Amino acid sequence: DTAVSQTPKYLVTQMGNDKSIKCEQNLGHDTMYWYKQDSKKFLKIMFSYNNKELIINETVPNRFSPKSPDKAHLNLHINSLELGDSAVYFCASSLRGSGTEAFFGQGTRLTVV
């Protein structure tokens, strides 16, 4: 069974469109994350969310918004897509405490044309 799964794996879309990436974890974790990996492989946190608080990286444009229907899901919505949004987006989950590792999905490669 896949621990953290995200869909789609590839997403090609035009500028100005609105798109969503879905993420689900079956590990019983209480915290989920979205990371953006740029062309230089750097992984930057975008959001951290548990059932109590949402932490937003202040550098993330407000066109990006996380939505969590329940503890096992954290979807990423992107409005008015721009060329610079092209990247690989990773979903992850963990328990809140510092001693546990985060588990990552396989990534979604978003290409904006």
Partner 1 sequence: AQSVTQLDSHVSVSEGTPVLLRCNYSSSYSPSLFWYVQHPNKGLQLLLKYTSAATLVKGINGFEAEFKKSETSFHLTKPSAHMSDAAEYFCVVRGEAGGSYIPTFGRGTSLIVHP
Q: Among candidates 76, 75, 71, 77, which has minimal Cα distance to 94?
A: 71
* DSSP 8-state code for residue 105: -
User: Taking CB under 8 A as the rule, does residue 56 contact partner 1?
Assistant: no
* C-alpha dihedral (20, 66, 60, 9), degrees to nearest 10: -40
State the nearest-atom distance from the C-beta of 107 to partner 1, in Å.
6
The reply to whether 99 sits near partner 1 by the rule CB under 8 A is yes
AA identity, residue 25: Q
Q: Binding to partner 1 by residue 45, rule CB under 8 A? A: yes
* Binds partner 1 by CB under 8 A, chosen from 23, 105, 110, 112: 105
- Stretch 79-98 residues interacting with partner 1 (CB under 8 A): 90, 92, 94, 96-98
CB 82 within 8 A of CB 110: no
Q: Which residues bind partner 1 (CB under 8 A)?
A: 31, 33, 35, 40-45, 48, 53, 55, 90, 92, 94, 96-107
